[in-house]
A and B are shown apart, each in its own frame.
Chain A
Amino acid sequence: MSAESAVRRIERTPPAEIERVRKWIFTEEYREKNFARQALVVNPAHACQPLGAEMVAHGFKDTLPFVHGSQGCASYFRSTFNRHFREPAPTVADAMTEDGAVFGGQNNLFEGLENAYSLYKPKMMAVFTTCMPEVIGDDLTAFIKNARLQGHIPADFPLPYANTPSFNGSHINGYDAMLKSILETLSAGHQSQGGDNGRINLIPGFDANTANYREYKRMLKAFDVPFTLLADISDAFDSVNDGTYRPYPGGTPLEEAAEVLNGKATLALQKYSTVNTLKWLGEAAQGTVESLAMPIGIRNTDAFLLKLSELTGKPVPEELKAERGRAVDALTDGHQYLHGRKFALYGDPDYLLGLVGFLLELGARPWHVLCSRTTRKFEKEMKALLETSEFGRGCTVYINRDLWHLHSLLATDPVDGIIGDTHGKYLARDHSIPLFRVGFPIIDRINLHRLPLIGYTGTLNLLTQLANRFLDIQDETCEDQWFEMMR
Chain B
Amino acid sequence: MEYFLQLFFAGLTKGSIYALIALGYTMVYGIIQLINFAHGEIYMIGAFTALIVAGVLSVFNLPVAAIFVIVTLVAILYSSAYGYTIEKIAYKPLRNAPRLSALISAIGMSIFLQNYVLLAQTSDFLPFPSLIGQFEFMASYNHILSSSGLVIIISTFIAMVLLSLYIKFTRMGKAMRATAQDKKMALLLGINVDRVISTTFVVGSALAALGGVLIANHIGQINFFIGFIAGIKAFTAAVLGGIGSVPGAVLGALILGWTESFSTGYISSDYQDVFAFILLVVILIFKPSGILGKKTDQKV
A binds B: no
Q: Which residues from chain B sit less than 8 Å from chain A, CB to CB?
A: none
